[in-house]
Amino acid sequence: MTATSPLTSVWILGDQLLARQPALETAVAAYGRDAVRVVLVQSAARVGKTACQRQKLVLLFSAMRHYARTLEAQGFVVDYRLAPTFSAGLQAHVTAYQPECLLTMAAANWHGRAFQHTLADRLGLPVTILPNTQFLVGRFDPYPDTPPAQPVVQEYFYREMRRHFAVLMDGRQPLGGQWNYDKQNRQPLPADLPLPDIPVYEPDEITRSVMAEVANMPGLGAVDGFALAVTRAEALAAFDDFLAHRLGAFGAYEDAMTTRQATLFHSVLSPYLNIGLLEPLELIEAAERAYHDGRAPLNSVEGFVRQILGWREYIYWQYWRQGPALLAMNAWVADRPLPAFFWSGETEMACLRHVIRRALDQGYTHHIERLMVVCNFAVLAGLLPTAVNDWFLSCYVDAYEWVMVPNVIGMGLNADGGRTATKPYIASANYIHKMSDYCAGCRYNHKQRHGPDACPFNFLYWDFLIEHEERLRANPRLGRNVLGLRHLDEAERTAVTRQAQQFLASLVAPTG
């Protein structure tokens, strides 16, 4: 590069830490490495926008700083800025380096992408926004012209993705003759089955410095015990550990829950996938190879693939298809504030106590605990969808708007009127008893429908069916559940409804 060669800047967002970063690759191809300046901005305003899990903040900021160091080792000039806002950080970068243009990859969320489209005016230079490559629906849309109000069943979306990307396929048909092995993936966890631990990573100097910073920031949980992967090499090692030690049993116990351990046979890779340290197709293809090599059964591999190629891609697709209007949806007219115990875990319901405390302390619970414990309770108790969504965004290490809004408001709470999920995911205490060991240590009786020792999941479940009987009966996927009301005479219906109302009235919302 000569003294007169123009400089170009590449803004890499904190959740776009890709090994092959399209904005960076494009800039290098067009201008040469020596003419490229990389900027990463750590925004104080973004941190203070909502209460946030401190474990997530340590992961994000440490991963960003390690990523910057990796780029510097590759010969890039990197400007890592601590700034009050993204705008202030970028403006300071432009003032310092005087680039002639800026390249960046499209943000994964609505507000981030809208902000990117204002950058040319804010910064006074040309800005190129490249397509986001972190999701496979950016390459293929199974239903490109479907209006937002028209339901699209996730299972059919998943099948089209499988066909297009040729994953676990035999020509146009699925390997094994079945698309979905859900029925094999709902086994309760044997009490004596050993549970492998996920790998932990000792914080280095960079991570320890970040931990000290985050400890003084507002948020949830503590930085103590942080042991997540913060580099691509560590994230790949975590994935290899999953393939070697947990994928084989993942399918069978995918829906199981236990007090013994939070992770069971789950991959716990979503925090890394959601910030770009891992990419979806590399995980899918490696899991598929594990099946073909005889290292994992088909039901486990298909279950893992479905979580990425089915659920994750579908959720992101729904986020952009439905748009910001999804935030305001409330199909069940739920308006109850979030109970105070959501911020403490102090409840006599053992299942909620375990799940909430794990989320508050560790920033992680697996998908069935999120769906069939937290969201199940939220639906039955009529909790305000936006409040539940905000809680998830605050508590989880893998929480980003694009995943939480459609997954919580759409799928978990069915508040979008069935656009994301064809039925509300509701269940009585029997489901939780069957799939977990929570009930064994609970003061409530999972068998009682009402009475002083009855589990709240029971009387809330039956009260919900009674209140919405006509609407639920019309749903072909819920008809059999509603038919169970025939076993309740008028006196029992009254008793269930009265106890549900008393319980809900006793819930205390947080103050301040």
Domain assignment present for 191 = yes
395 and 458 in a single domain? The answer is yes
Q: Do 409 and 395 share a domain, yes or no?
A: yes
Rounded Cα distance, 304 and 239, in Å: 12
CA-derived radius of gyration, the chain:
24
Residue ending a domain, among 82, 109, 133, is: 133
Q: State the CATH number of the domain containing residue 283.
A: 1.25.40.80
Mean pLDDT of 428-435: 97
pLDDT band, very low/low/confident/very high, at 476 (cuts 50, 70, 90): confident
Task: Report the distance separating Cα 384 and Cα 409, nearest Å.
Answer: 10
How much of the chain, in percent, has pLDDT values that exceed 70?
98
Domain check: are 482 and 351 in the same one?
Answer: yes
Q: Are residues 34 and 155 in the same domain?
A: no
Please say if the pLDDT value at position 512 is more than 90: no
CATH of the domain at 352: 1.10.579.10
In a domain, 212, yes or no: no
The rounded distance, in Å, linking the Cα atoms of 115 and 110 is 9
Q: What is the DSSP string of 428-463?
A: -HHHHHHH-SGGGG-SSBTT-SSSTTB-HHHHHHHH
Same domain for 489 and 467: yes
Q: 29 and 169: one domain?
A: no
pLDDT at site 509: 77
Query: Which residue matches tokens 């042991």?
Result: 227
From 113, 133, 153, the end of a domain falls on: 133
Name residue, tokens 């050993």. Answer: 194
In a domain, 153, yes or no: yes
Single pTM value for the model: 0.96
The answer to whether residue 39 scores a pLDDT higher than 60 is yes
Mean pLDDT of the chain: 95
- Looking at residue 47, its pLDDT comes to 83
Residue type at 118 in one-letter notation = T
What is the phi-psi region of residue 171: left when phi exceeds 0, alpha when psi lies from -120 to 50, beta otherwise? left
Q: Kindly state whether residues 156 and 95 are assigned to the same domain.
A: no
Query: What pLDDT, in 10s, does the model give residues 58-96?
Result: 999 999 999 999 999 999 999 999 999 999 999 999 999
Q: 114-153: per-residue pLDDT in tens?
A: 999 999 999 999 999 999 999 999 999 999 989 988 999 9
Q: In this predicted model, what pLDDT tens digit does every residue of 434-472 receive, in sequence order?
A: 999 999 989 999 999 999 999 999 999 999 999 999 999
- 167 in Cβ contact with 136 (< 8 Å): no
Whole-angstrom distance, CA of residue 211 vs CA of residue 221: 12
Q: To which H or E segment does residue 81 belong?
A: strand 77-83
Q: For 247-259, what is the mean pLDDT?
A: 97
Q: Determine if residue 105 is left, alpha or beta; phi over 0 gives left, psi from -120 to 50 gives alpha, anything else beta.
A: beta
Question: Cβ(25)–Cβ(71) under 8 Å?
Answer: no
For 55-85, b/e burial (b = at least 16 CB within 10 A) is bbbbbbbbbbbbbbebbeeeebbbbbbebee
Residue 431 sits in the same domain as residue 445: yes
Does the pLDDT at position 2 exceed 80? no
Please tell me whether residues 123 and 162 are part of one structural domain: no
Q: Which of 97, 118, 133 corresponds to the end of one domain?
A: 133
Does a structural domain hold residue 326?
no
- Asked whether the predicted pLDDT for residue 242 surpasses 70, the reply is yes
* 418 & 363 share domain: yes
Residue 511 above 70 pLDDT? Answer: no
pLDDT tens digit sequence for 308-360: 999 999 999 999 999 999 999 999 999 999 999 999 999 999 999 999 999 99
Tokens of 186: 């709902």
Q: Are residues 283 and 401 in the same domain?
A: no
The residue range of the domain holding 110 is 8-133
Domain count, the chain: 3
Sequence-distant (6+) residues with CB within 8 A of 21 are: 10, 12, 105, 276
Check whether 1 has a pLDDT greater than 60: no
Q: Which two tokens stand for residue 400?
A: 């980003």
Sign of the alpha-carbon dihedral angle for 432, 438, 441, 443: negative
35 found inside a domain: yes
Tokens describing residue 49: 């926008």
Q: How far apart are CA 32 and CA 34, in angstroms?
A: 6
Residue 274 lies in a domain: yes
Residue with tokens 């009966």: 473
CA-CA-CA-CA torsion for 257, 258, 259, 260, nearest 10 degrees?
-140
Task: Tell me the pLDDT band of 479, cut-offs 50, 70 and 90.
Answer: confident
Angle at 367 between CA 362 and CA 373, to 5 degrees: 85
Q: Is pLDDT of 477 > 90?
A: no
Does a structural domain hold residue 495?
yes
Say if 332 falls within a structural domain. Answer: no
Q: How many alpha carbons lie under 13 Å from residue 147 in its C-beta half-sphere?
A: 2
Instruction: Assess whether 301 and 415 both reside in one domain.
Output: no
Q: What mean pLDDT do residues 218-225 have?
A: 94
| Residue 3: pLDDT band with limits 50, 70, 90 | very low
What pLDDT, on the 0 to 100 scale, is given for residue 406? 98
Q: Tokens at residue 414, please?
A: 């069915």
Task: Give the domain CATH number at 86.
Answer: 3.40.50.620
- pLDDT reported for residue 230: 98
What band does 478 get if pLDDT is binned at 50, 70 and 90? confident
Which tens digits make up the pLDDT trace of 93-118? Answer: 999 999 999 999 999 999 999 999 99
At 250 the pLDDT is 97
Q: Is the pLDDT of residue 484 over 90?
A: no
Residue 349 has a pLDDT of 98
Mean pLDDT of the region 282-310: 98
